[in-house]
């Protein structure tokens, strides 16, 4: 294993943020903001438009990409297409990845607009995206995340606001099982994908600061130690507990 | 010029007109604002009401993410002060049913419009429902930024919706400093631009933690900025394709904050004359709004002298968004911004930060009306796009936070780097007033969601009572 393939553990991981200048819709930038606060010793590599991704020749401990505009999504797909196979290799190799908001759609087979246009995705997720820019799909999310078989589930909370519905089967590769809100489409209760250590979820905004239990698990995996400290943990957990209770109320939905 | 796009009327139209006018009259008798109700009733009875109703000969729409309400109100006042008989939608709302309510208000039972000029605010997303049926003579777009994500998604989406529906014959009045909105509706060649030249408080790069213009909108190349006035508004050039700001017809060439004046050069006029106008309370957003209103008035044929005279008479930003009072030597300022709009909130916080001297700020950003429902929750992700980092400025001596999303705001404020000691979390507007420590500063700002105005007044009145009773020390 070359130096660049060494894992960067012990609280000083290497985290690659893909297209940070785009991935800030809906407050998704809050994820990296919180990672930076939690991991002051980590190395953050921001790969912007026009730059070669760090992962092209190295092995980061975490790759993160967040929600963007539909126009930027098209650009990102084309920018990442030359690195598609490398990205697939890293998924197979167990590199941690977190794609949030509409970023998972970049990994889909195809994004099909109801008006007839379509964009070929990177094809890392076996899912077809159906996009209708005249429709806004909204829901709150409460779902169980099982870190590993037999482990106690963690509850993940959040929001989904999107123009898309997904066609695909994630019955054995879902991220969370919803008790509130819907998953790949409005008829599904299985949200997102988890393929090896790739987590792809349509939950938007500050997923990590809103979910201290999940974030603590993710950081322990990325850093290779259970000895992780969440930034402003007391405040984060207070907000989480309140939200969990609120979103579990029957009929709870996003004000629109 | 006819602005009407009128379909064939039938019994449904006349029934809708009669019912909506009756509703408007009934509400007037009850001294209540008609709001959108007449339009809602009209739509219900005649779904094609907007195509059927007459339109005034001259329609002006004011749109854009930020500043449209203020600019529209200013323009209404400015035109009325110059004898223009017009109808507006201040009370009716800026979506389809609001426009319909305004047209109903201005119509006789036959549907004929009484006043032949309408100056109305138009919501950006409502372009797709209104502009196919109403052709404005003038359309002002103040700017495009990210807005409510749940409703407006992102600026690219809104840009597409607006561009698709802008009529080719409409005269577009666009902000040359905004490299997003200045490109609207390229099919329309009937366009004029306004711009502000370099200003003292400019920054070399776009402001804020979440920028809406991170690359050339034409080719995706790197943008090199000469200066930024406000967020991404400024002057830039693409290093790859050379795309840059369009040349302005109207340009602010001087701002004298001490004299409360700004000078506009009209580049298209013979000799490129300059005219100086008065502004009230200075802020860059106020100046942009006032400047944009004067440009529309000039395009509508109002003379510079007449505009200047109106501004001298006190036409200015309305109190709905900015209200200052002085009580017992204390300065108490309420500054509103749209909820779930990180740009507007950031600009408001930055405006407060730039105010001289120490200050206390009360944040009332959680939408109190949304909080009333036990089965709805407010989307708070936008807190992570808003620049709460401005509040780390040492002139902020105390930050009082009130609302149902306090737990979320507390985490965000701590992540922004704000000391725990300066933060006070409270539940009610009254508790916010009681928590203010006037030994720390004589200036208090309320930064609030526009829909929380009543709560702000309750809080401010309680503080005034404290001051008047002499219990101004905690």
pLDDT digits (tens, 9 = 90+) for B241-262: 999 999 999 999 999 999 999 9
Mean pLDDT to the nearest integer, B199-219 = 92
Q: Which residues of chain A does B379 touch, with a Cβ-Cβ cutoff of 8 Å? A: 26, 159, 161, 205, 254-255
In tens, the pLDDT along B149-166 reads 999 999 999 999 999 999
pLDDT of res. B1: 44
* Calpha distance B74→B409 (Å, rounded): 33
Structure-token pair, residue A5: 């393939």
Mean pLDDT to the nearest integer, B174-189 = 96
User: Is the C-alpha dihedral spanning A23, A27, A30, A31 positive or negative?
Assistant: negative
pLDDT of res. B2: 41
Task: Give the pLDDT band (50/70/90) at residue A6.
Answer: very low
B148 CB-near residues (< 8 Å, 6+ apart): B338, B339, B340, B341, B382
Residue with tokens 């509703």: B23
Per-domain residue ranges of chain A:
3-135+166-176+191-237
Has residue B53 got a pLDDT over 50? yes
Q: Is A211 on the interface with B (CB under 8 A)?
A: no
Average pLDDT over chain B, rounded to whole? 93
Contact A148, A196 (CB under 8 A): no
- Which ranges of B268-400 would DSSP assign to H, the alpha helix? 284-299, 304-312, 342-354, 368-371
Has residue B408 got a pLDDT over 70? yes
In tens, the pLDDT along A192-249 reads 999 999 999 999 999 999 999 999 999 999 999 988 999 999 999 999 999 999 999 9
Closest by CA to B448, choosing from B329, B341, B337, B359, is B337
Output DSSP code: residue A172. Answer: T
Q: Is A189 on the interface with B (CB under 8 A)?
A: no
Q: Name the β-bridge partners of B177.
A: none
Contact criterion met (CB < 8 Å) for A27 and B146: no
Task: Give the pLDDT band (50/70/90) at residue A4.
Answer: very low
The domain B322-468 having CATH identifier 1.10.3720.10: the answer here is no
In tens, the pLDDT along B61-110 reads 999 999 999 999 999 999 999 999 999 998 778 999 999 999 999 998 77
ipTM over 0.90: yes
Which residue would you say has higher pLDDT here, B109 or B178?
B178
Task: Give the pLDDT band (50/70/90) at residue B182.
Answer: very high
In tens, the pLDDT along A89-112 reads 999 999 999 999 999 999 999 999
Task: Give the pLDDT band (50/70/90) at residue B5.
Answer: low
Q: For A3-135+166-176+191-237, which CATH class?
A: alpha beta
A167 vs chain B: nearest CA distance in angstroms?
22
Q: Which residues of chain A does B214 touch, with a Cβ-Cβ cutoff of 8 Å? A: 21-22, 49
Which superfamily, per CATH, for B11-312?
Mur-like, catalytic domain (3.40.1190.10)
Interface test with A, best of B127, B148, B149 (most A CBs within 10 A): B149
Structure-token pair, residue A107: 């990994």
Contact A22, A29 (CB under 8 A): no
A71 vs chain B: nearest CA distance in angstroms?
7
Interface test with A, best of B156, B210, B215, B411 (most A CBs within 10 A): B411
In this structure, the dihedral spanned by the alpha carbons of residues B380, B382, B383 and B387, taken in order and rounded to 10 degrees, is -170
pLDDT of res. A231: 98
Contact criterion met (CB < 8 Å) for B381 and A204: yes
pLDDT of res. B318: 65
Contact criterion met (CB < 8 Å) for A26 and B149: yes
Has residue B119 got a pLDDT over 70? yes
In tens, the pLDDT along B273-304 reads 999 999 988 889 989 999 999 999 999 999 99
Task: Give the pLDDT band (50/70/90) at residue A7.
Answer: very low
Q: Is A221 on the interface with B (CB under 8 A)?
A: no
Task: Give the pLDDT band (50/70/90) at residue B8.
Answer: confident
* Calpha distance B421→B419 (Å, rounded): 5
Task: Give ranges for CATH 3.40.1190.10 in chain B.
Answer: 11-312
Residue with tokens 């404290």: B466
Contact criterion met (CB < 8 Å) for A206 and B379: no
* Calpha distance B153→B147 (Å, rounded): 7
In angstroms, the Cα distances linking A134 to A53, A162, B21, B157, B160 are 34, 11, 32, 10, 12
In tens, the pLDDT along B300-320 reads 999 999 999 999 998 887 655
Q: Is B65 on the interface with A (CB under 8 A)?
A: no
Contact criterion met (CB < 8 Å) for B156 and A71: yes
Task: Give ranges for CATH 3.90.190.20 in chain B.
Answer: 322-468
pLDDT of res. A2: 36
Q: Which residues of chain B does A70 touch, with a Cβ-Cβ cutoff of 8 Å? A: 154, 156-157
Has residue B386 got a pLDDT over 70? yes
Backbone angles phi, psi at B306, to 5 degrees: -65, -40
In tens, the pLDDT along A20-61 reads 999 889 999 999 999 999 999 999 999 998 899 999 999 999
pLDDT of res. B27: 78
pLDDT of res. B6: 63
B448 CB-near residues (< 8 Å, 6+ apart): B334, B335, B336, B337, B362, B363, B364, B365, B455, B456
Q: State pTM to two decimals.
A: 0.92
């Amino acid at each position: 294993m070359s130096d660049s393939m060494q894992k960067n553990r012990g609280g000083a991981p290497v985290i690659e943020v893909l297209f940070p200048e785009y991935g800030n819709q809906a407050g998704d930038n809050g994820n990296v903001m919180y990672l930076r606060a939690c991991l002051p010793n980590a190395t953050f590599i921001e790969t912007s438009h026009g730059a070669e991704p760090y992962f092209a020749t190295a092995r980061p401990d975490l790759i993160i990409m967040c929600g963007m505009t539909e126009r930027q999504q098209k650009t990102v797909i084309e920018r990442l297409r030359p690195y598609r196979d490398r990205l697939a290799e890293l998924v197979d190799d167990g590199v941690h990845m977190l794609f949030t908001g509409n970023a998972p759609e970049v990994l889909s087979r195809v994004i099909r607009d109801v008006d007839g246009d379509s964009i070929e995705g990177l094809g890392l997720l076996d899912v077809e995206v159906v996009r209708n820019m005249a429709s806004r799909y909204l829901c709150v999310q409460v779902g169980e995340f099982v870190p590993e078989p037999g482990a106690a589930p963690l509850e993940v909370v959040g929001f989904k606001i999107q123009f898309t519905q997904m066609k695909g089967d994630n019955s054995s590769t879902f991220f969370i099982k919803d008790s509130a809100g819907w998953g790949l489409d409005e008829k599904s209760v299985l949200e997102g994908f988890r393929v090896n250590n790739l987590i792809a979820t349509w939950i938007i905004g500050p997923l990590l600061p809103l979910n201290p239990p999940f974030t603590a698990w993710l950081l322990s995996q990325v850093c290779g130690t259970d000895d992780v400290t969440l930034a402003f943990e007391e405040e984060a957990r207070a907000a989480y507990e309140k939200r969990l209770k609120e979103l579990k109320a029957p009929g709870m939905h996003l004000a629109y | 010029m006819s602005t009407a796009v009128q379909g064939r009327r039938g019994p449904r139209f006349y029934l809708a007109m009669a019912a909506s006018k009756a509703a408007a009259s009934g509400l007037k008798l009850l001294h209540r604002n008609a709001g959108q109700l007449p339009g809602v009733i009209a739509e219900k009875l005649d779904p094609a009401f907007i195509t059927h109703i007459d339109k005034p000969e001259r329609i002006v729409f004011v749109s854009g993410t930020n500043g449209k309400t203020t600019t529209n109100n200013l323009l209404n006042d400015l035109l009325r002060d110059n004898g223009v008989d017009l109808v507006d939608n201040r009370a009716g709302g800026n979506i389809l049913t609001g426009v319909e309510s305004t047209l109903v208000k201005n119509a006789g039972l036959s549907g004929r419009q009484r006043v032949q000029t309408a100056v109305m605010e138009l919501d950006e997303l409502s372009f797709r429902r209104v502009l196919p049926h109403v052709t404005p003579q003038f359309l002002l777009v103040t700017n495009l930024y990210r807005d409510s994500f749940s409703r407006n998604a992102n600026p690219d989406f809104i840009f597409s919706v607006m561009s698709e529906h802008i009529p080719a014959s409409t005269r577009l009045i666009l902000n040359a400093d905004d490299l997003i909105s200045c490109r609207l509706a390229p099919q329309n060649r009937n366009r004029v631009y306004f711009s502000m030249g370099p200003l003292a408080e400019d920054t070399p790069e776009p402001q804020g933690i979440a920028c809406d213009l991170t690359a050339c909108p034409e080719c995706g190349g790197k943008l090199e900025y000469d200066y930024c006035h406000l967020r991404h508004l400024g002057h830039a050039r693409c290093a790859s394709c050379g795309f840059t700001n369009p040349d302005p017809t109207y340009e602010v060439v001087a701002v004298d904050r001490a004299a409360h004046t700004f000078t506009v050069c009209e580049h298209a006029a013979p000799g490129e004359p300059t005219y100086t106008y008065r502004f009230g309370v200075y802020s860059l957003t106020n100046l942009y709004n006032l400047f944009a209103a004067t440009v529309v008035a000039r395009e509508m044929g109002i003379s510079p002298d007449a505009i200047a005279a109106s501004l001298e008479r006190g036409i200015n930003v309305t109190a709905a968004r900015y209200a200052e009072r002085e009580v017992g030597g204390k300065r108490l300022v309420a500054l509103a911004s749209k909820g779930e709009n990180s740009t507007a909130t950031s600009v408001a916080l930055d405006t407060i930060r730039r105010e001289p001297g120490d200050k206390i700020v009360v944040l009332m950003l959680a939408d109190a009306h949304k909080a009333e429902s036990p089965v709805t929750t407010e989307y708070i992700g936008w807190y992570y796009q808003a620049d709460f980092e401005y509040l780390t400025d040492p002139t902020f001596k105390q930050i009082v936070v009130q609302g149902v999303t306090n737990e979320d705001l507390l985490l965000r404020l701590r992540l922004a780097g704000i000391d725990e000691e300066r933060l006070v979390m409270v539940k009610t507007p009254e508790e916010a007033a009681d928590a203010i420590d006037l030994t720390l500063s004589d200036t208090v700002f309320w930064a609030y969601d526009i829909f929380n105005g009543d709560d702000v007044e309750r809080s401010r009145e309680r503080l005034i009572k404290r001051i008047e009773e002499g219990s101004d020390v905690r």
